[in-house]
């Protein structure tokens, strides 16, 4: 029996959430803000300033934020505390479960942003949010699987 089999689903979810806190979230916020600003500029030049341009820019910012923060978390972060080292080892060993956290947060955030800032329909917003969440989860999971497993 493996250690994973001994843990309940609730404990595994708690570890995935704790692992997500290991990400470089300040750097992720900076990258997201920069990318969102560029997206806003490009959207404004291409189609003029409006609700759609703002929603697109915020969506790009959120995507970059969750990609950078989630990838850092899936790789195990850089904290030195003993408890954090155990969480870091778990995160590296379970990168797909860690990736699910930013993926779900991205999907939910994107739907909310599109509903609040644009006139996009609900089902269209949900579809956009889901595919963006899948992209974030896929990239974060792959980075954690192939990038995080090489560190000790």
Residue 8: the pLDDT is 77
Per-residue pLDDT of 2-44, as tens digits, reads: 455 567 777 777 777 777 777 788 999 999 999 999 999 999 9
**How far is it, in rounded angstroms, from Cα 101 to Cα 13?**
9
Helix 9-20 vs helix 82-93: angle between axes, to the nearest 10 degrees? 110
DSSP 60-91: HHHHHHHHHHHHHHHTT----SHHHHHHHHHH
Per-residue model confidence (pLDDT) at position 145: 84
For the stretch 137-149, pLDDT in tens is 999 999 888 885 5
Q: Is 24 left (phi over 0), alpha (psi -120 to 50) or beta?
A: beta
90 versus 114: the higher-pLDDT residue is 114
How far apart CA 18 and CA 4 sit, in angstroms, is 16
Cα separations in angstroms, 34 against 27, 29, 30, 118: 11, 9, 6, 21
* pLDDT in the model for residue 9: 77
Query: Which of these, 73, 85, 38, lies nearest to 57 by C-alpha position?
Result: 38
Helices (H), 7-146: 9-20, 25-47, 51-74, 82-93, 95-117, 122-146
Which residue, among 143, 132, 53, 48, has the nearest Cα to 91 in the 3D structure? 143
pLDDT at residue 110, as a whole number: 95
- Please report, rounded to a whole number, the percentage of residues in the chain having pLDDT higher than 70: 87
Global pTM exceeds 0.85 = no
Q: Which one is predicted more confidently, 2 or 51?
A: 51
* 81 pLDDT higher than 80: no
Q: Between 90 and 64, where is the model more confident? A: 64
Please tell me the predicted confidence (pLDDT) of residue 16: 76
Higher pLDDT: 61 or 21? It is 61
Q: Is the confidence at residue 49, as pLDDT, over 90?
A: no
């Amino acid at each position: 029996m493996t250690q994973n089999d001994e843990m309940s689903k609730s404990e595994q979810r708690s570890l995935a959430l704790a692992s997500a806190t290991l990400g470089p979230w300040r750097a992720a916020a900076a990258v997201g803000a920069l990318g969102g600003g560029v997206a806003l500029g490009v959207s404004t030049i291409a189609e003029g300033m409006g609700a759609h341009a703002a929603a697109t820019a915020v969506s790009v910012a959120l995507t970059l934020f969750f990609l950078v923060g989630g990838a850092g978390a899936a790789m195990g972060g850089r904290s030195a505390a003993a408890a954090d080292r155990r969480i870091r080892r778990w995160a590296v060993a379970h990168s797909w479960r860690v990736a699910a956290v930013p993926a779900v947060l991205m999907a939910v955030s994107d739907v909310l942003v599109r509903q609040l800032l644009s006139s996009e329909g609900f089902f269209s917003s949900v579809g956009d949010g889901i595919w963006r969440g899948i992209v974030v989860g896929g990239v974060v999971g792959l980075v954690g699987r192939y990038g995080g497993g090489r560190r000790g």
